Amino acid sequence: MEKENNIRVTSEINEGELYEHFSFKADQGQDPLRVDKFLINRIENATRNKIQQAAKLGAIKVDGKTVKSNYKVKGGDNIKVLFSYPPHENLLVAEDLPIEIIYEDEELIVVNKAAGMVVHPGHGNYTGTLINGLLYHFEKLPLNSNNRPGLVHRIDKDTSGLLVVAKTEESMVNLAKQFHDKISARKYVALVWGGVKEEEGMIEGNIGRNPKNRLQMTVFPDGNSGKTAITHYRIIESLGYVTLVECSLETGRTHQIRVHMKHIGHTLFNDARYGGDTILKGTTFTKYKQFVQNCFSSLPRQALHAKTLGFNHPKTNLWMDFDSPIPKDIETTLERWRNYSKHKHY
């Protein structure tokens, strides 16, 4: 067997029970689109080759009928990818992984998550996640509504920073309510493209799945789609073609800071999913292009760090504040921009 990029391809599909791994319903306004291209935009890290192989094995069905990779998806189609082996995301395996625990008591754990570590198992990331590591150190963690042990909130794979994890059912309920009721406090630092003009501001705009690319989220200004999202920001440091900002969240939508900052014209530096891995501001000089590429090399991810976290302790009700240092990869890139901006006239 071969396992790669979310889709594991076997030599044949058994005639016994098939297990659903992915399920999508095409929007009514969907333009005709090959099913392999349709799925690439919806299955993270999948390759077209793997999807085409899955189609050859009869693993892709539309409205219950097996289709080939050149099938044209249309509005209302129900597309499923099925295999003869069960999906692994519910098979939680304890793993001895490096985890930086900065606080622990009988009720909770506060973790400083490294960039590159996925928070919980899912399609294509069945091992090596924060949850796998926590289960090695803590055998019994309460399950949340999505059957994910201890999780109250999460941050993206390539975002570093602070997370609180519950150790008891009571603490999970209490902490989840604090996040829902906006009692908890979260501040992030982000390096964004462009010179932010206002010293501080608020971004308000519903966030939902991008209908043209399901791996992205987008802002729906009219409020007819998506969920309410509010981000506050303030400038920490202006560095010419980039700006270091602090972002505070009132809500916790998927990719919220990344999407909101892009919406106001300040995409996060080196955020590949949202176009920040290209030169969005600056000159056309070759030396400048090389400088930016060097920055991308020193920071091979979006420049976003969950720096502070605050909440009431679920047992004592005392306010707790946690702070984590800016990681080396972001700090190195900031130093490069500081040095560049000193010798550049904008």
pLDDT in tens, 171-218: 999 999 999 999 999 999 999 999 999 999 999 999 999 988 878 999
Mean pLDDT across 214-237: 93
Domains of the chain are: 2-83 (3.10.290.10), 100-180 (3.30.2350.10), 185-342 (3.30.2350.10)
The catalytic residue positions are 156
Q: Look at phi and psi of residue 216 and say left if phi exceeds 0, alpha if psi is from -120 to 50, else beta.
A: beta
34, 40 contact by CB (below 8 A): no
Rounded Cα–Cα distance for residues 72 and 69 (Å): 9
- Residue in this structure with the two tokens 């890139």, named with its chain if needed: 333
Q: What is the pTM of this model?
A: 0.76
pLDDT tens per residue, range 289-319: 999 999 999 999 999 999 999 999 999 999 9
Lowest mean pLDDT among 32-36, 40-44, 93-97: 40-44
At 60, list the tokens: 């892709």
Rounded Cα–Cα distance for residues 244 and 195 (Å): 9
Rounded Cα–Cα distance for residues 151 and 167 (Å): 9
